[in-house]
């Protein structure tokens, strides 16, 4: 058996799933339920895809107990099939292997310390006094400034830029084009209404198990560090301004913009394209839907929608009234004519 061939018994044990069916069934891949073929395993989480249970060509399905009786195939039963899929996908992920060492084309400062088990790819630059932890991978064209700290088992994809005094925890993933530690947008006007740059003297501190998507930017603090806590997941094209704090295990979708000194709580979810004002606080476990505009602090967790953002149920009522405005305007005009 190759490393991408697994018995259902082994997968069930790894996931902590209840196995119904042949434990020796061999799984060689993972696919969507509607396109799966023999040897594949798939998952069912969305009720829409139940229609494919009877016709799928998969060899096994990951699903919940309430759907298991409807499936003619071997199944792995879990309370959360989607989480099971996430963990299952790791078995079939083909991660490139990098031999430890420093490519001859890279420039590494004499005072930098790079663990012997780390990898530094072609045309990278590592600044003075920077520290690279065990097992970390720095791919081609990446630049680390002076006094950068990179923890263990991190992965920096090609052309990532870390300015000086950026600190990373362990197991951090930075995708291509990420820039961390660039100057915050700090400006003051003089008597002539000209802009005077405010030097950004802080750094950026990123915790463990953080992932940041392609072309996202995190600015350094003006005086203190910008802070990204453990387990934060940031999508592509996100802007995080200076002195922002993002609490642990918060997830931020693409194209979100967070203004300076915003304090975002833990376990929050922020939908794509949302805008968050500066110098406000967002409570732990808050959900902000896509394209919302958060103008003031949110003190109670819940779902917030619209611009300015407000509790979701209230926003639905506001939209319902808004959709009736044209008809209401016509009725008012008729009443005005009657009163003339």
Local structure of 282: helix, strand or coil: strand
Residue recorded with tokens 């990123």: 206
Q: Could you say which of 175, 208, 242, 249 is catalytic?
A: 242
Local structure of 312: helix, strand or coil: helix
Classify strands 204-206 and 226-228 as parallel, antiparallel or unpaired.
parallel
Please report how many Cα atoms fall inside a 13 Å half-sphere around the Cα of residue 209, on the Cβ side: 8
Q: Which residues contact 229 (CB under 8 A, 6 or more apart)?
A: 207, 245, 246, 247, 248, 249, 250, 266
Range list of H helices, 167-207: none
According to DSSP, the residues that pair with 149 across neighbouring strands are 131, 167
Spatial CA neighbour of 217 closest among 184, 263, 261: 184
Q: Could you confirm whether 249 is annotated as catalytic?
A: no
How many H helices and E strands in the chain?
Answer: 5, 40
Q: Which residues participate in catalysis according to the annotation?
A: 242
């Amino acid at each position: 058996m190759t490393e991408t061939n697994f018995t259902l018994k082994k997968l069930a044990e790894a996931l902590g799933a209840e196995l119904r069916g042949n434990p020796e069934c061999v799984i060689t891949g993972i696919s969507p339920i509607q396109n799966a073929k023999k040897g594949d395993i798939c998952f069912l989480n969305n009720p829409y895809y139940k229609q494919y249970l009877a016709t799928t060509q998969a060899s096994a399905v990951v699903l919940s107990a309430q759907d298991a009786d409807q499936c003619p195939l071997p199944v792995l039963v879990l309370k959360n099939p989607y989480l099971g899929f996430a963990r299952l996908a790791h078995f079939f992920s083909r991660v490139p292997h990098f031999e430890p060492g420093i490519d001859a084309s890279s420039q590494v400062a004499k005072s930098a310390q790079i663990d012997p088990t780390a990898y530094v790819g072609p045309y990278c630059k590592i600044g003075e006094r920077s520290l690279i932890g065990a097992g970390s991978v720095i791919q081609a064209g990446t630049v680390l400034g002076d006094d950068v700290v990179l923890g263990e088992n991190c992965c920096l994809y090609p052309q990532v830029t870390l300015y000086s005094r950026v600190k990373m925890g362990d197991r951090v993933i930075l995708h291509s084009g990420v820039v961390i530690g660039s100057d915050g947008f700090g400006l003051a006007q003089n008597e002539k209404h000209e802009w005077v740059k405010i030097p950004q003297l802080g750094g950026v501190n990123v915790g463990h198990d953080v992932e940041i998507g392609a072309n996202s930017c995190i600015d350094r603090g003006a005086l203190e560090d910008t802070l990204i806590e453990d387990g934060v997941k940031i999508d592509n094209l996100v802007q995080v301004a200076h002195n922002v704090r993002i609490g642990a295990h918060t997830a931020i979708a693409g194209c979100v913009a967070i203004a300076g000194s915003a304090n975002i709580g833990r376990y929050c979810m922020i939908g794509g394209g949302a805008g968050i004002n500066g110098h406000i606080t967002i409570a732990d476990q808050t959900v902000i839907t896509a394209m919302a505009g958060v103008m003031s602090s949110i003190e109670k967790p819940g779902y917030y929608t619209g611009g300015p953002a407000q509790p979701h149920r209230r926003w639905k009522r506001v939209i319902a009234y808004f959709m009736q405005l044209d008809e209401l305007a016509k009725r008012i005009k008729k009443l005005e004519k009657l009163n003339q």
